A = this chain, B = another copy of it.
Amino acid sequence: MEPGPPGSSGPAEPGPCLSGQRGADHAASASLQSAAGTEPGRHSLAVAAVLPAGGCGERMGVPTPKQFCPILERPLISYTLQALERVCWIKDIVVAVTGENMEVMKSIIQKYQHKRISLVEAGVTRHRSIFSGLKALAEDQLNSKLSKPEVVIIHDAVRPFVEEDVLLKVVTAAKEHGAAGAIRPLVSTVISPSADGCLDHSLERARHRASEMPQAFLFDVIYEAYQQCTDYDLEFGTECLQLALKYCRTKAKLVEGSPDLWKVTYKRDLYAAESIIKEIISQEICVVMDSKEDNKHVGHLLEEVLKSELNVHFLDFKLVLPSQKTENLMQIKEFSKKVKERNILLYGLLISYPQDEQKLQESLRQGAIIIASLVKERNSGLIGQLLIA
């Protein structure tokens, strides 16, 4: 089962591809084009993105920095890059990674065929990494393919589910207000402890918000703020919007974001991300079958039953099995190992096809349940098995 058609990088791209949201993106993209067209200058807006990815992920409790943790065998940051790449009006994506992860990052870019990416060396704090990214965009270096954007998006490498919609909103608001950022309601009440570890006071939940990503800035505003700010800010600060306020008197516009903006922080977030990616992938499946008449009939019946198990579009019916001999169990196994390298999980399913209509329906229902659970779980331990419905 192929995990949905790949994105813009072509069919050879390995790893699952979150193509489910493309429809919505196209619509949003069109609206930016027209929004940009109505700007005073009548030029489309030059937008770049900076992605600090120098963190070590100490909260995750795993040795791998969280942005490089695999989800369905693909590093988390690759999903985030894919989400940004899908947005055609983001011209450049500058990723700040530590020296020791530079080669890892290069190989990810190559393997997943990421485009429009430039790498810079991360600083020791988040703010320093962002500053590095901004410098790369500011300087018109010789041989540099980067040019200074009008608006710069700052996003996190560990927020893979960002949608074009919210990117558009923060960019549009930044163009107008100089700065903008996504916010979310607080999940927990925030308190202020006293020095002795007791409650000093609690904050009214309704009057506060969690500051999330993405954020966007007029490039000149945020670059000026980073140039002006103190070493203390660069070491201990956490909020770019605050820098714009403090050093450029720019009051950021706050944009309500969706729950999808959440940051992969703990191990449980990796679990959640994996389930969400599986869910997106299972939205589109491709049914591959023999073209004999009898089977075609079963295939159409199966399609009907499958629709009740999976929320799917049926994309294609065609014969791609290399030979009829794959009925042989061992050959299915060998073939499944081979296609696994291209991230295709292959299972055999034998549907009994009795004349009795009721028994046939039961058999199809069983088959649909098995297909649905295989598609949803993507269990690579079971590839090559011949299952019976």
Give the B-binding residues of A (Cβ under 8 A). Answer: 59, 61, 177, 179, 181, 183-184, 186-194, 197-199, 201-203, 205-212, 236, 238-239, 241-242, 245, 251-254, 259, 262-263, 265-269, 271-276, 329, 333, 369-370, 372-374, 377, 379-382, 385-388
Whether B329 lies near A388 (C-beta < 8 A) is yes
Closest to A273 in B: B268
Cα distance A201–B209 when bound, in Å?
11
Whether B186 lies near A190 (C-beta < 8 A) is yes
Whether B241 lies near A191 (C-beta < 8 A) is yes
A197: contacting residue among B186, B190, B254, B380, CB under 8 A = B254
Q: How many copies does the complex hold?
A: 2
A193: contacting residue among B59, B239, B254, CB under 8 A = B254
A275: contacting residue among B263, B271, B333, CB under 8 A = B271
Whether A269 lies near B272 (C-beta < 8 A) is yes
Shortest CB-to-CB span from A214 to chain B, Å, is 13
Closest to A370 in B: B381
Shortest CB-to-CB span from A29 to chain B, Å, is 25
Whether A272 lies near B265 (C-beta < 8 A) is no
Q: List 30 A-B contacts (CB under 8 A).
A: A61-B259, A183-B193, A186-B190, A187-B263, A188-B212, A188-B263, A189-B238, A191-B209, A191-B211, A192-B209, A193-B254, A198-B251, A199-B241, A199-B245, A202-B242, A203-B203, A203-B208, A262-B266, A262-B268, A268-B269, A268-B272, A268-B276, A271-B271, A271-B276, A274-B275, A370-B381, A372-B381, A377-B377, A385-B388, A386-B388
Contacts of A382 in B (CB 8 A): 370, 373-374, 382, 387
Contacts of A177 in B (CB 8 A): 198
Contacts of A333 in B (CB 8 A): 388
